[in-house]
Chain A
Amino acid sequence: MAEKLPQHDHQGKSDCQDKCKEFDLQKFYLVLDGEANSAQTQQLKAHIADCYPCYQHYDLAVAIRKILQYKITKKCMSIKDIEEIRARISQMV
């Protein structure tokens, strides 16, 4: 919960996978969902610019959101069914 993030002690790109102290998926989601404040967002952006494993986690979360938004067929109601609702409402007086 601390606002100040601890210094991360890894330099390399591969050996800190999931050991990164900054790794906090829930915090990533706050940013992704637009629920983080600007300081939290900046911290995360700065961190993932440096830390490849964390970048991958964030990137994966973004990719999953995108496929949910764009790849799942959006179902629409038929005009006939919409008209039926309107007709039933107009009878409800």
Chain B
Amino acid sequence: MNYAMAEQANTTYTEREKYYIFNEEFMPHIDPMYNFAYRLTLDEDDAKDLVQDTYLKAFRFINSFQKGTNAKAWLFRILKNSFINDFRKKSKQPAKVDYSEVESFYNSDEAETGVTTTTTDLRAEMVQDLIGDEVATALNSLAVDFRIVIILCDIEGFTYEEMARILDIPIGTVRSRLHRARNLLKEKLRLYAKKMGYIKEKE
């Protein structure tokens, strides 16, 4: 439970305060939390269990929540840790590709082919024509660590600093991971656009 203990000195709330914080500060984030859980697990029942588990933990460790700080980021951090530490171990699905592996692979790939700058035939207009399912499929196909940064930044609008705290990584790593995640997503979207005939094969 180091996500709880890593915080500053605990406050001792009264029972009444606990329920107040839980209802007023935690519960309003339930939809983004569920959405996040769904994007991680890609299964509605698993997402439900993960959110429930997270809220129970949040209540149990409520004394380590500092009133007036960002409750949404605090909750997202617990959810993400639950997913990584408990949920993925429990679930029978084969482990996802290890992030560092992907990253080093991608680095070498990037170095060789210059992926960062070669995706130039994809245009904003083509992207706008994609339908939601295609976008979701592209996002879901990314390794979970890349998916997470895109969800946190682009969908939930967390700042880099908040993301660094949620993920327990330095801000520099947030930036570089986000950059790689976006390049990978762009490449997936480009493949869709190509399949749909927006992008002509070069002869």
Contact A63 B159, CB 8 Å, known A82-B30, A88-B52: no
Quick check: B48 and A77 within 8 Å, CB to CB? yes
Quick check: B186 and A23 within 8 Å, CB to CB? no
Binding site for A on B (CB under 8 A): 15, 19, 22, 27, 30-31, 34-35, 38, 44, 47-48, 51-52, 55-56, 59-60, 116-118, 120, 122-125, 127-128, 130-132, 135-136, 139, 150, 153-155, 159-160, 175, 178-179, 182, 185-186, 189
A34 contacts B by Cβ under 8 Å:
yes
Which residues of chain A (1-46) have a CB below 8 Å from chain B? 17-18, 23, 25-26, 29, 33-35
Binding site for B on A (CB under 8 A): 17-18, 23, 25-26, 29, 33-35, 53, 56-57, 59-69, 71-77, 81-82, 84-86, 88-89, 92-93
Contact A72 B136, CB 8 Å, known A89-B59, A92-B56, A93-B15: yes
Give Cα A68 to B44, complex, Å: 20
Quick check: B120 and A33 within 8 Å, CB to CB? no
Give Cα A62 to B19, complex, Å: 40
Contact A71 B135, CB 8 Å, known A61-B182, A64-B189: yes
**Nearest CB in chain A to that of B160: its residue:** A35
Give Cα A29 to B116, complex, Å: 13
Q: List residues of chain B with CB within 8 A of the CB of A65.
A: 154
> Can you list 5 A-B contacts (CB < 8 A)?
A23-B117, A53-B120, A64-B127, A75-B38, A92-B60
Quick check: B135 and A29 within 8 Å, CB to CB? no
Q: List residues of chain B with CB within 8 A of the CB of A77.
A: 30-31, 34, 48, 51
Q: Which 7 pairs, one residue from A and one from B, show the smallest C-beta to C-beta distance?
A: A63-B124, A71-B132, A77-B34, A59-B124, A75-B38, A68-B154, A63-B127
Q: List residues of chain B with CB within 8 A of the CB of A59.
A: 123-124
Quick check: A76 and B15 within 8 Å, CB to CB? no
Could you say which of A17, A67, A72, A73 contacts B128, with CB atoms under 8 Å apart? A67
Q: List residues of chain A with CB within 8 A of the CB of B125.
A: 63
Most buried by B among A56, A62, A71: A71
